[in-house]
Chain A
Amino acid sequence: MVDEKKLQEKARETLIRDDVRRLIGWKRGTYGFEAAPAVVTDASQAEQLIFDATCVANPASFIAIEEKKPVPRGAEPDTRKVAVMVKGCDSRAVVQQLVEKAYAREDVVVLGIPCLGVVDRRKAEKLFGQTGAQVSAKVDKEKVALDIGGDVKTVDRSNILMDKCLRCRYPNPLVSDFLLGEEVEKWADDDFADVDEFEKMSPEDKWKHWDEQFSKCIRCYSCRNVCPMCYCVECVVSKLRPQWTRRSTDISENTVYHVQRAWHLAGRCIECMECQRVCPVDIPIMTLNRKMTRDVKEMFEYEPGVDVEAEPMLACYNPQDPEEYIM
């Protein structure tokens, strides 16, 4: 794991630079199993930055959604860089944003952190209940040691880490200017067994499942707001002219909302699982996204967020693409 002192030192060094506007990382949350994302603008604040297994949030979500305020007359626009700390999965979001030209490579300073997995709040709360204490966590290849307000508990990795970490293929950042800490060895592979399992269900059962899940949706749009790939200035679901989906929370509009969200992430979703993590009503959103990821990989041999030089999946084609259903 990365040494906190070294991380803060590097952050300070980065923030002192004239060409860096701010740094996005993590700080200790007020309570609970998740660290809070932190935006730091001054070098003196660098000591609040941390990294451990509670740092679940994806800082790459905050790079591209900055509000562009009008520049006062006579003033120059702020073209300084944004520094961002990324884990392996977060770095894929940066890569995919670069592929889509959300910003240029020279507009970001990426501080990469090799990661051994992060704690799933839901799993932790199931084991230890909700806590009002601040939690820190150390993770190694076998165990996770949680420090819940001074009370240290050791748990097996598979019982507490996020599902994405148990099948993580990119623990090391794919893009980084500085690497904080030693590179780690990959420990798992992804065989999409969960997607296969779901596909065995009959269409009726599938719809029954989704009917139940989508009916819960309160359309808070947390999943959209937290998503690193959802950085459109005007989102299709907020648009009124044309109004694609109505804002009422009935099964029809909810289904269309979730289907179109999964569709807009087809070939772009980098599986940071943020959408599912923030969902207040526990809708398994990743089931849809992972289906898309699997199909895109199988049919078009494309994997998002890996290669900065790649073309976006739906902006290119192969004349030999499958078309078995076309009459």
Chain B
Amino acid sequence: MSEEFEPNIVAFLCNWCSYAGADLAGTSRMRYLPNVKIIRVMCSGRVNPLFLLNALQQGADGVLISGCHPGDCHYLEGNFYARRRFMLMRKLLEHVGVDPGRVNMSWVSASEGAKFADVVEETVAKAKEAGPMDQFRRRQINW
């Protein structure tokens, strides 16, 4: 088993900007890394930080939350709340000893397909550097 470690990334993309951005990356035939598993949410403000913990528990090595640029939110202020939340959550996880590179956030608008590809690449690079997430992943219990 000398294969390189391929991290699992869970990406929460907002319906109005980032998901459309990811769509654009796909329709314009841009290559981006296949490690990312996308979950569409209506707004980055919808993402509960417990989603993040749950993802890390269930096998994700990194999480990406992506929304509209500040000021462009479809719901006017959802991404501002998300920004505060994940800023704190990241600091908290860092305090517990989780690599902060596992918690990523980005602003990607619907026209930024190329940026989305870059963001994914950077996220995967950070997760690779941090290594497999084995700190508090759920373990299979053999009775």
Q: Which residues does A use to contact B, with CB under 8 Å? A: 198-199, 203-211, 236, 244, 250-253, 255-256, 259-260, 262-263, 266-267, 287-288, 291-292, 295-296, 299-300, 313-315, 317, 319, 321-323, 325-327
Min C-beta distance of A57 to chain B, whole Å: 27
Residues of A close to B138: CB separation below 8 A: 250, 252-253
Cβ B87 vs Cβ A299 within 8 A: yes
With A262-B92, A325-B87, A327-B106 already in contact, the answer to whether A244 and B97 are too (CB < 8 A) is no
Residues of B close to A260: CB separation below 8 A: 49-50, 53
Min C-beta distance of A193 to chain B, whole Å: 15
**CB < 8 Å neighbour of A210 from B54, B97, B137:** B97
Cβ A326 vs Cβ B83 within 8 A: yes
Q: With contacts defined as CB atoms under 8 Å apart, how many contacts are there between chain A and chain B in the complex? A: 111
**CB < 8 Å neighbour of B97 from A204, A252, A291, A319:** A204
Cβ A199 vs Cβ B95 within 8 A: yes
Cβ A317 vs Cβ B84 within 8 A: yes
Complex A-B, nearest 8 residue pairs according to Cβ-Cβ distance, in ascending order: A207-B97, A206-B97, A317-B80, A327-B106, A255-B136, A252-B136, A291-B95, A326-B105
The A interface, classified by DSSP as helix, strand, loop or mixed, is: helix
Alpha-carbon distance between A319 and B79 when the two chains are bound, in angstroms = 10
Cβ B107 vs Cβ A255 within 8 A: no
Residues of A close to B90: CB separation below 8 A: 325
The B interface, classified by DSSP as helix, strand, loop or mixed, is: helix
Cβ B81 vs Cβ A295 within 8 A: no
Alpha-carbon distance between A299 and B90 when the two chains are bound, in angstroms = 13
Q: Which of B48-62 contact A (CB under 8 A)?
A: 49-50, 53-54, 57
Indicate if B139 sits at the interface (CB-CB under 8 A). yes
With A207-B98, A314-B81 already in contact, the answer to whether A292 and B137 are too (CB < 8 A) is no
With A256-B53, A288-B92, A326-B106 already in contact, the answer to whether A207 and B135 are too (CB < 8 A) is yes
Min C-beta distance of B59 to chain A, whole Å: 11
With A326-B83, A327-B105 already in contact, the answer to whether A291 and B91 are too (CB < 8 A) is yes
**CB < 8 Å neighbour of A325 from B49, B105, B135:** B105
Residues of A close to B49: CB separation below 8 A: 260, 263
Alpha-carbon distance between A313 and B84 when the two chains are bound, in angstroms = 9
Alpha-carbon distance between A314 and B135 when the two chains are bound, in angstroms = 28
Alpha-carbon distance between A320 and B136 when the two chains are bound, in angstroms = 34
18 A-B pairs whose Cβ atoms sit less than 8 Å apart in the complex: A199-B95, A203-B98, A207-B97, A207-B135, A236-B50, A252-B139, A256-B53, A259-B53, A263-B50, A263-B92, A266-B92, A267-B88, A300-B84, A314-B84, A315-B81, A319-B70, A325-B105, A327-B118
Residues of B close to A262: CB separation below 8 A: 92
